Amino acid sequence: MALTKRVIVCLDVRDGMVTKGVQFKANKDIGDPLFFAKMYETQNVDELVFYDITASVENRSLMYKTMERVAQSISIPFSVGGGIRSVEDMERALESGAEKVSVNSQAVQNPELIEYCAVKFGCQCVVLGVDTKRDAMCPSGYRVFTNGGRVASNKDLLDWVVEAEQRGVGEIVLNSIDADGTKQGYDCELLKHVVASVSVPVVASGGAGKPEHIVEAFIKGGVHAALVASMVHFREYTITQIKEAMQKSGIPVRPISE
């Protein structure tokens, strides 16, 4: 039997509220994380991911109290990211109820962080969040960005994901800054390149606007999971509708809620 493909909802959190912008700009607060978490659980979402989008740029830790409140109220898997600077930060995130923890900016600046966390908690707990943007100066055509897409690094995308896998990440969430929040579809060319370069699961992020975009990410991009935000936050589509479209295209999914 083919492995089921996952649909993941991303909750960008700022000052304790879910927020959403376009290409990492003009963010607007749209509600309480716990409200959204419960709503998506009833729609049978496979996973949730919480990103504290200003933790790195503000040089502070994650909002652990918010995470604990959510963990106590839902039963589906969730991961967290933002401001993870040490093994201790990751340990606290896992103790707060997260199943996986995403490292991004700090991993770019200190790649050994991946190894330390993978050794202590297992590769399956360590997710690499990658924010990338097209850049003709990079060999792969894409550059890695940090601090919530604000700062360009000196890392080429493909070089970085290969290095990160070697250091022990168990999953890669690949976010296209160019497509983020536009609802015009994922960058399937980008997805395909990364999927072909690593052996760990790759999650598509940035650009979903309708169920067909998710289907394209699986069929054309070859990803293992798709992350969505705007299209479900603003009630344009439900997780059920997305999974129905996947089923119609022959993509295996977990049972759809009634």
% of the chain at pLDDT higher than 70: 90
Can you tell me the distance from the alpha carbon of 95 to that of 98, in angstroms, rounded to the nearest whole number? 7
Active site residues: 12, 131
**pTM score, two decimals?**
0.90
Whose tokens are 């089923």? That residue is 247
Kindly state the helix (H) or strand (E) to which residue 8 belongs, with its residue range. strand 6-14
DSSP state of 184: S
Q: Is the pLDDT of residue 14 over 80?
A: no
Residue type, 182: T
Most confident of 144-153, 217-226, 230-239: 217-226
Tens digit of each residue's pLDDT (9 = 90 or more) over 56-110: 555 555 677 788 888 888 999 999 988 788 999 999 999 989 999 999 989 999 9
pLDDT score of 91: 95
DSSP state of 257: P
| pLDDT band (50, 70, 90) for residue 40 | very high
pLDDT score of 60: 53
| pLDDT band (50, 70, 90) for residue 253 | very high
Among 137, 147, 230, smallest CA distance to 183 is for: 230
Residue type, 65: K
Helices (H), the chain: 33-42, 64-71, 87-95, 105-109, 112-121, 157-167, 188-197, 211-219, 230-233, 239-248
Can you tell me the distance from the alpha carbon of 173 to that of 35, in angstroms, rounded to the nearest whole number? 24
CB 229 within 8 A of CB 9: yes
Tens digit of each residue's pLDDT (9 = 90 or more) over 209-232: 999 999 999 999 999 999 998 899
Quick one: average pLDDT of 158-182?
A: 95
Among 226, 180, 187, smallest CA distance to 20 is for: 180
Tens digit of each residue's pLDDT (9 = 90 or more) over 41-62: 999 999 999 888 665 555 555 6
| pLDDT band (50, 70, 90) for residue 175 | very high
pLDDT score of 12: 84
Q: Is the pLDDT of residue 25 over 70?
A: no
- Residue 40 in 3-state DSSP? helix
pLDDT score of 26: 47
pLDDT score of 30: 64
Q: Check residue 97 and give left, alpha or beta (phi > 0: left; psi -120 to 50: alpha).
A: left
Q: How high does pLDDT run on average in the chain?
A: 89
Question: Token pair for residue 68?
Answer: 């604990």
pLDDT score of 69: 86
Can you tell me the distance from the alpha carbon of 116 to that of 103, in angstroms, rounded to the nearest whole number? 12
